[in-house]
């Protein structure tokens, strides 16, 4: 029965999300139930692609990513895949009309990670566009449920929010990216000379993205607003913790928000939601 396989596909995407990201999966729980499976479907797809370029050391990553890309587009065109993650993703793409260009841009960014590079400004912007901003747009397609005018109105804020999340990830993962993977994402930054002034410039840039992103969250459909706000609050709290961390510590330690702090943020966010003070 095809329905049974589709159910297994949805569960596979959900299990992938929960296993890889407690913060993201926590936010999904607070969407309306109709949004749960499609957002799990998007995350499962981007997570698998990211794992190819970040984790599969000792294997031919280029070959694996090529195969994954080919399988992705075949799944979308044929509306089925024997890979449960791609089977679920193609369903979301076809149901919600996710633009093929967004998938192209995402996979292009994954290819950029196949080489250890120091990014210039254009490369930095291109990478963030494909790795984060377009993922926000995929989710926005789901949230707006075919309302093109609403989607177009919120495209900018959704991209800015994705940009903020990604830049925070760059700061949080400096040690792993630079020392483990040989990547330097921030343009014009020599990591051996990473200092407080450089760090503050990056943080101020993220603050601008967050401001635009919050304006968009306030205009999201009710069923999506609180879940996205929970993710916003978590990442903003992470930014605050990074701001308090000296530059020399940041390049040697991965900063995280404790589980206790996450639950505190969840409770306070819910109260703001109830009082309509987001």
Each residue's pLDDT tens digit, 17-60? 999 987 778 789 899 999 999 999 999 999 999 999 999 999 99
Q: Which pLDDT score is estimated for 275?
A: 66
* Cβ atoms of 247 and 198 closer than 8 Å: yes
The rounded distance, in Å, linking the Cα atoms of 28 and 242 is 24
pLDDT band at 155 (very low <50, low <70, confident <90, very high): very high
Apex CA 39: angle with CA 95 and CA 124, to 5°?
A: 105
The rounded distance, in Å, linking the Cα atoms of 83 and 169 is 28
Q: C-alpha 154: how far from its chain's center?
A: 17
Q: What is the mean pLDDT of residues 177-190?
A: 83
Q: C-alpha 120: how far from its chain's center?
A: 22
* Cβ atoms of 109 and 135 closer than 8 Å: no
SS3 118: strand
Q: What is the mean pLDDT of residues 117-121?
A: 85
pLDDT band at 12 (very low <50, low <70, confident <90, very high): very high
pLDDT band at 153 (very low <50, low <70, confident <90, very high): very high
What is the share, in percent, of the chain residues with pLDDT greater than 70?
Answer: 99
Q: C-alpha 239: how far from its chain's center?
A: 16
Q: What is the mean pLDDT of residues 128-150?
A: 97
CB within 8 Å of 267: residues ≥ 6 apart: none
Comparing C-alpha atoms, which of 276, 231, 275, 277 is closest to residue 257?
231
Q: Is it the case that residue 224 has pLDDT exceeding 70?
A: yes
Q: Which pLDDT score is estimated for 31?
A: 95
Lowest mean pLDDT among 15-24, 56-65, 89-98: 15-24
CB within 8 Å of 71: residues ≥ 6 apart: 81, 83, 86
Length, in residues, of the chain? 278
What residues make up the domain containing 49? 2-274
The rounded distance, in Å, linking the Cα atoms of 114 and 112 is 5
180 DSSP 8-state letter? I
Q: Supply the mean pLDDT for the chain.
A: 92
| Residue that has been written with the tokens 């900018």 in this structure | 156
CATH number at residue 148: 1.10.600.10
Q: How many domains does the chain have?
A: 1
């Amino acid at each position: 029965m095809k329905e049974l396989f589709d159910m297994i596909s949805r569960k596979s995407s959900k299990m992938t999300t929960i296993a890889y990201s407690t913060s993201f999966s926590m936010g999904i729980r607070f969407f309306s139930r109709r949004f749960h499976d499609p957002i799990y479907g998007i995350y499962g797809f981007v997570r698998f692609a990211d794992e190819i370029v970040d984790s599969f050391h000792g294997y031919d990553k280029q070959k694996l990513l090529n195969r994954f890309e080919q399988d992705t587009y075949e799944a979308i065109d044929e509306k089925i895949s024997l890979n449960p993650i791609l089977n679920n993703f193609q369903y979301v793409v076809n149901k919600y009309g996710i633009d093929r260009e967004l998938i192209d841009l995402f996979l292009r960014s994954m290819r950029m990670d196949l080489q250890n590079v120091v990014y210039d400004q254009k490369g930095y912007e291109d990478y963030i566009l494909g790795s984060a901003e377009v993922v926000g747009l995929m989710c926005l397609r789901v949230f707006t449920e075919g309302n093109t005018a609403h989607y177009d109105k919120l495209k900018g804020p959704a991209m800015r929010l994705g940009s903020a999340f990604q830049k925070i990830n760059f700061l949080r993962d400096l040690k792993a990216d630079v020392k483990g993977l040989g990547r330097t994402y921030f343009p014009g930054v020599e990591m051996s000379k990473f200092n407080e002034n450089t760090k503050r410039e990056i943080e101020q840039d993220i603050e601008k993205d967050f401001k635009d992103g919050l304006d968009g969250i306030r205009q999201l459909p009710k069923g999506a607003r609180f879940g996205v706000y929970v993710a916003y609050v978590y990442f903003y709290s992470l930014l605050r913790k990074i701001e308090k961390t000296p530059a020399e510590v940041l390049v040697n330690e991965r900063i995280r928000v404790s589980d206790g702090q996450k639950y505190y943020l969840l409770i306070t966010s819910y109260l703001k939601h109830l009082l309509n003070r987001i």
